[in-house]
Structure 1
Amino acid sequence: MNAKPTQPTPHDPSQPADDGRKPRSDGEQSRERLLQAAMRLFGEQGFSKTSTREIAQAAGANVAAISYYFGDKAGLYQACFTAVCTPVENNIALFDQPHFTLRESLRGFYQQMVAPLMAGADAEVLLRLFFREMLEPTGLWQREIEVNLKPEHMALAGVLCRHLGLEQPDERVHLLGYALAAMCLQMLIGRDVVNAITPNLMSGPEAITTWVEQLTGFAETLVLAEKTKLQQGKA
Structure 2
Amino acid sequence: MSQLVKKNGETRVRLLQAAAECFALHGYKRATLAQICQEAGANQAAANYHFRDKAGLYREALCHAYGQAQEKHPLPDMGGLATEDQLRQYLAMHCRRIFDEGVGGLFPRMFAKEIAEPTDALEFIFDEVVSDERSVLIRIVRELLGEQATDEDCGLCRLSIIALFQFFNFNRAIRQMATRRRAHKPFDVEMVIEHTLRFALAGIHEKQKEIQERE
2:167 pairs, out of 175, 186, 190, with 186
Task: Give the residue type in structure 2 aligned to 1:113.
Answer: H
Q: Give the structure 1 partner of residue 198 of structure 2.
A: 217
Matches within 5 A, 1:52-131: 52-86=33-67, 94=75, 97=78, 99-117=80-98, 119-122=100-103, 125-131=106-112
- Counterparts of 1:149-168 in structure 2 under 5 Å? 152-166=133-147
Note the C-alpha offset of 1:213.
2.0
**Stretches of 4+ moved more than 6 A in 1?**
none
Other-structure match for 1:200 = 186
Do residues 41 (structure 1) and 58 (structure 2) align?
no
Whichever structure has more helix as a proportion of its residues is 2
State how far apart, in whole Å, the 2-side matches of 1:180 and 1:76 are: 31
For 1:146, what is the secondary structure of its paired residue?
helix
Aligned residues: 207
Deviations 1:46-100 (A, max 9, x none): 435544333222222233322343333332212101101249x99xx94894743
Name the CA distance, whole Å, in 1 between partners of 2:108 and 2:199: 24
User: Equivalents in 1 of 2:129, 2:103: separation in Å?
Assistant: 21
Alpha-carbon spacing, 1:191–1:53, altered in 2? closer, same or farther (3 Å): closer
Contact 1:95 1:104 in 2 (8 A): no
1:11-22 → structure 2 map (5 Å cutoff):
11=4
Query: Percent same amino acid among aligned pairs?
Result: 24
2:65–2:104 Cα contact (<8 Å) kept? no
Structure label with greater radius of gyration: 1
Deviation at 1:141, TM superposition (A): 0.9
Query: Comparing both chains, which one has the higher relative contact order based on Cα–Cα distances under 8 Å and sequence gaps of 6 or more?
Result: 2
Shift of residue 212, structure 1, vs aligned partner:
0.9
Q: Deviations over 1:148-176 (max 9, x none)?
A: 55664454233223223225643122111
What TM-score comes out, normalization by structure 2 length?
0.76
Q: Name the structure 2 match of 1:32.
A: 13
Instruction: Please give the TM-score of this superposition, normalised by the length of structure 1.
Output: 0.70
Give the aligned CA root-mean-square deviation in angstroms: 3.4
Runs of 5+ consecutive residues of structure 2 not aligned to the other structure: none
1:96/1:216 CA distance change after superposition, 3 Å: farther
